[in-house]
Structure formats: structure tokens, C-alpha cells
Structure 1
Amino acid sequence: MMKLYKKYQSLIKISFFIIIFLISNNCNSQNKYEILKSKIENISQNSTDNSKSSIEIIEFLSYMCHHCTAIENILNQWQSSIPADVILIKIPICSNKKSEVLQKLYLTINEINKPYLHCELFHMFAKEKKSITHIKDLNDWLISKNINVKEFLELYNSFYIQSKSNRANQLAKLCRIKGIPTFVVGGKYTTSPAIAGDEYECTINTINYLIEKIRKE
């Protein structure tokens, strides 16, 4: 009986190392990205941060995307430790009237400089299964956050936000975005959980790999 136990114990250990090897091989960052047909120039407009020489990471996302919600915390932790010349830019996209409301909401929150609200909205849509599809829903939510409804809606409905929305959609089309989240690295490469085998950590590892690849090019 003891010999049989030791035999099975050895088989379990061997199986464990095989699984670890397969996972490591599956996360080979060299196989987890695609090349854009046309290079995208840097979109950052802040001339004080040497943006032209920076490596931009553009994330296309939506509040309604399950994978965007799942990778958000991992991405925030990663962002806190990235080099100074790497810039993460988050671009909300829309495919219909419902997602257009959420896209403009995301852009307006950026403009009033309350980024913590993004986490709350991701949680609200994913965990609480709530949504904001009508103006009354938006009004109620703004009031619950002690945000001036009139001022917020003026910005939300402004030509400025509509222009940012149009540019976001044009950029998504230019990058041939088919699903979200998708990351464009250095204007040359794309990766995503779908390309990385639905592995969020592999997606981040691939972004890091592509950053170093761009530095050497």
C-alpha cells in the first residue's frame, strides 16, 4: 500500500510540473500579439512629458465589457510601476446608442478629474447588474455622488465631448478593433485577453514584452 501511495505521489508531482510547463509555454509573449497594418502616431497631446518619444499603451474598453472589468485592477497595479516614458491611455468605444451613453459618461468623468468613479461604475455594471441607459438613470446616479447635475450634463452634451467621442471611434476603426479590451502598444502591435488565451496576466506580460521589443527597434 505504501509503495502504491508513493507511486501515485510521484505521478502527481510529475503531472504538476507538466501543467506548470504547459502554462508557461502557453504564456509565451512572443506568440500573443498581432501587428497593425498601419502604424498609429502617438495621440498624447501633453507636450511637457516628451510624449512624442513616449511609448503609448492604448486600451480600448467599455463599462459593459466583462473582461474590461476583470482586468481593471490588474491593470491599475501594473500602471503604478511602469517606467516614466510609458503612457497608458484608456479609450472607451461604442457600438450602439446604449454604449454611446456610457462612452460619453466615461469621457466626461475624465474631464472632471474623478477617475475613482470609473471603478465604481465597473463594479456597478458587473457586480450589481445595474446600468445607465436613460437620462433619469444618469441624473439619479450623479445626485447619489453629489455631483452638480446641471454642470455635468452641460459638459456631457457639449460639442467638446462629442468630438472626443468621434475621435475615439475613428481611432478604434483605424486600429481595426474587433473586441475589447484590446491594447495597442507603441502604435504598432495589438494584444488582448482573447489573443493571449483569455489570460489576463499573459496579456500584461505581453504588453511588457512589446514595450521592450519597441525599445530595441
Structure 2
Amino acid sequence: MAQPPINTAIDSLTAALKGNIIPNQEYILQGSILDASVEVLLHRLRGLCDNVDAALETFHDHEMCFSIRGPNNTQPIQLRVRRSIDQPMMPMQLRYIGQPELGDKSQPTVLRSSIDIGTSNTVVEFLTELGCRKEFEYIAKGYMFRKGRMKITVFKVFKIDEMRKTGALEPMSQSYLVELSVLAPSGQNAIADDMRCFAEQLRPLVQLEKIDYKRLAHGP
């Protein structure tokens, strides 16, 4: 018997998620490295990652985090909007990120729901009209590497309020954030083992690990 047609965008997205067609899970490990050691890390990554003969891939983005209350005042839903400062003609990116799942101790990475959508430059106005509230914003500037399906970013976070006042970027800290991540459909847990093996190759320069966000929020 023929399947009934899918008539709406929401139905199409739901069907794609159930069929594991689109990447909707992010596996992630995070760490940091002091400014004084970042050049050594970049050199190591160039040797380990793909396209080692190409110039370093850089990014310079403005990211805003919005939240909106879920039904029945449940946990707020977070949405992130990112735009490229260096390439203003590129589409803006709207991203939904779910609550991180630490899983059991044998799980090598944090796992969280993640859906990315390219949008027009009116997305901020659209979210505001929906009732979303902007929680914070920042500038992220750094480097991006690829190793198969894995994405590695090394970037520094800057205060956007100070940039607006003085026109100069003021870093939040004297270190760079390092993230190792993979976007994949549900159920591909073998990816986490590949990420753990790659992270071991970056020791002792940087220790990429599962971050317990709840512990950071509430303290030890």
C-alpha cells in the first residue's frame, strides 16, 4: 500500500528524524589551552588532520543565545544564532541544542541533540517576535580542522559589549577553547570511540573530556 503524502515541513522533518536521515545528535569533547601553547597545538593538528597542505581554515563569528519557555513552564528551550563577520553574505545559522547527556562512565563523549538550519538575516527579529529572550552573546575567533567526520575547533571568546564601546576585541580569558565534535544521525555510538582515540593523540597539549555542565552551574 502506498504511503500517504507528507504535506508539511514539520511532517517532513519528523519523518527524516525517525528514519535517521539527517544528523540530529552531536558527540562532543571539550578542553582549553593557554595562549602560549596554542601554536604548538595548531602545528600538531595540521599534522593529524585532513588537507594538511592547505592554508589554515579560520572563522570569525558572532553568536547569540536565545531562550524560550517550553510548554507548562518546563526547561527553557535554547536556540543559538551565529553569523559570520568575515563573510557577511553567508546565510546565518540557527541551531537548536538539547540538554547534554553524560550517559554512563563508559561513554567516551557528551551526547546532545542538535539541529542546524541556514536562515536569512531576519532570524533575530523572527525569534524576538516568537517571544525568545536573548541570554548572552559573544565573538568567537579561531581555527577549524577536519579529520574524516570529526570537526576540531580552536578558538578564543571575546566580549562583545567591550567591542561595541571601544572597537577593539577584549578576550574573556588567556586561553583558547578546543572542541572536538561530530554531527551524526541517532544510534552511531561507535563515533565516540573514534573521537576518544583522536583526543589521545593531542595529549598532553590539551585534555579533551566530557564536561558536566550541571556541575559547572551548581558548583561541586
The two structures have a TM-score, normalised by structure 2, of: 0.26
The two structures have a TM-score, normalised by structure 1, of: 0.27
Structure number with higher helix proportion = 1
Larger Rg: 1
